[in-house]
Amino acid sequence: VQESLWFDEWARRLEEAASRYAERVDRENLAPRELLDELEGLGAFRAVDEGPLRVLQAVRAISRWSPGTAHIVLVHSSSVLAMGENPGGIVAFSMTEPGGGTDILANLQTRAEGAGDGYRITGEKIFTSNAPYASHFLVLASTSEGPALFLAPRSDRIHVEPLDLLGLRGSGASRVVYRGAPARLAGSPGRGVKEALRGINLGRLGYAAIALGIADAALSIIASAGQKVVFGRRLVEYQGIQWRIAEIAMERAALEALVEKTAGTLDPVAAASAKNLGASLAQKAAWAASQILGGRGLARWSRTERMMRDSRVLDIGEGAREVLLDFIASRTLRSLQA
């Protein structure tokens, strides 16, 4: 790990804050206000103003302990990037609807209607992360000119119902109902999906950064649990354990390089690739960390339990694995036929 790029003093402070609250966020499925204030004080919600790499650095550092907390920073940053402005506070990204997430346009029921100077949003969304914390909601809604992004300030016309999911707990993923919520246009009519994709590409890279954080945590758990002497040798002296460490370290190095390279371009194929590779790495790493702890790795609400549950979600959120595979394949074929 290059100390200066990923783990400077700022990242260490974010990691330390996350470590103090990680178990509570997971158990309560909610990030306490004190934690959000601490992250705000450290500038986590302004990192996006310094570019994608700064966001990814924060996401990786926080994910060593609490991917659910890192997700709050990531979704806020993706929303800001999609609309091209940071309204302050925390922003929620509200695209997916109960009718389907992957095929968003086929099911877009939420609509915006002009009202005076602004608009009114009506419809139902699901899996809107950050909803319990948000000062603003970035909503994809249909208009007579096609889908568009709207920014709705929190109001009593926005009803939030947090979901009780098995992983990324505390990310605030919620069912959200908009009942004529006042909003303003945050992009160009007809270009809503294209604008949202800028944020989604950062989101996918962010999922890879969450995976890097989980791999970091796994390696440090394996190194320390591996000091235990079993049958006369330390666990880390067994080749079976060493090869597991090497596999995780190799894949982590490759993913780290891909994420660094893609942070500058937000290339959609590279971002989708990083996300799928990251999900596999995180699942492998979480499983290995749990295994080396033996029975102790099975404790309810433990760090390794959280890693296993959180890594599971990486194959579904920000686009299901299969959908990204289809996308990567079609772009690859197109480039081969060009």
Instruction: Report DSSP state, residue 2.
Output: -
Site string for ligand FAD, 168-207 (x = CB under 6 A): x--x-x----------------------------------
**What is the nearest approach in angstroms of ligand FAD to the Cβ of residue 149?**
12
Q: Which is nearer to ligand FAD, 11 or 186 (CB)?
A: 186
Q: Which is nearer to ligand FAD, 25 or 235 (CB)?
A: 25
Site string for ligand FAD, 200-239 (x = CB under 6 A): ----------------------------------------
Contact 131, 148 (CB under 8 A): no
127 contributes a contact to ligand FAD by CB under 6 A: yes
**What is the nearest approach in angstroms of ligand FAD to the Cβ of residue 102?**
3
When binding is defined by CB under 6 A, the residue of 320, 327, 328, 331 that contacts ligand FAD is 320
Distance of CA 195 to the CA centre of its chain: 18
Q: Which of 283, 334, 289, 288 is nearest to 313 (CA)?
A: 283
**Cα dihedral: 58, 59, 61, 64 (round 10):** 170
Q: Which is nearer to ligand FAD, 46 or 175 (CB)?
A: 175
Strands (E), the chain: 91-94, 111-115, 118-128, 136-143, 146-153, 158-162, 174-185, 229-230, 233-234
- Roughly how many angstroms between the first and final C-alpha of the chain, as a whole number? 38
Q: How big is the site for ligand FAD, counted in residues (CB under 6 A)?
A: 24
C-alpha–C-alpha distance, residues 236 and 226, integer Å? 5
Burial-class residue 289 by CB neighbours within 10 Å (0-12, 13-18, 19+). Answer: buried
Q: Which is nearer to ligand FAD, 85 or 322 (CB)?
A: 322
When binding is defined by CB under 6 A, the residue of 19, 86, 102, 143 that contacts ligand FAD is 102
Instruction: Report DSSP state, residue 8.
Output: S
Q: Which is nearer to ligand FAD, 6 or 127 (CB)?
A: 127
Residue 42: CB atoms within 10 A of its CB come to 17
318 contributes a contact to ligand FAD by CB under 6 A: yes
Q: Which of 204, 248, 256 is nearest to 226 (CA)?
A: 248
165 contributes a contact to ligand FAD by CB under 6 A: yes
Chain residue whose CB lies nearest ligand FAD: 101
Identity of the amino acid at 79: S
When binding is defined by CB under 6 A, the residue of 28, 109, 322, 332 that contacts ligand FAD is 322
- Cα angle vertex 124, ends 121, 125, to 5°? 105
Burial-class residue 95 by CB neighbours within 10 Å (0-12, 13-18, 19+). Answer: buried
- Binding to ligand FAD (CB under 6 A) within 62-101 occurs at 75, 93-96, 100-101
SS3 154: coil
DSSP H helical ranges for 2-51? 3-6, 9-28, 33-41
272 contributes a contact to ligand FAD by CB under 6 A: no
Contact 189, 143 (CB under 8 A): yes
**What is the nearest approach in angstroms of ligand FAD to the Cβ of residue 321?**
6
**What is the nearest approach in angstroms of ligand FAD to the Cβ of residue 12?**
26
Q: Which is nearer to ligand FAD, 75 or 205 (CB)?
A: 75
Tokens 């500038």 -> residue? 43
Q: Which is nearer to ligand FAD, 269 or 320 (CB)?
A: 320
247 contributes a contact to ligand FAD by CB under 6 A: no
**What is the nearest approach in angstroms of ligand FAD to the Cβ of residue 33?**
20
Residue 330: CB atoms within 10 A of its CB come to 11
41 contributes a contact to ligand FAD by CB under 6 A: no
Q: Which residues bind ligand FAD (CB under 6 A)?
A: 75, 93-96, 100-102, 127-129, 165, 168, 171, 173, 313, 316-320, 322-323, 326
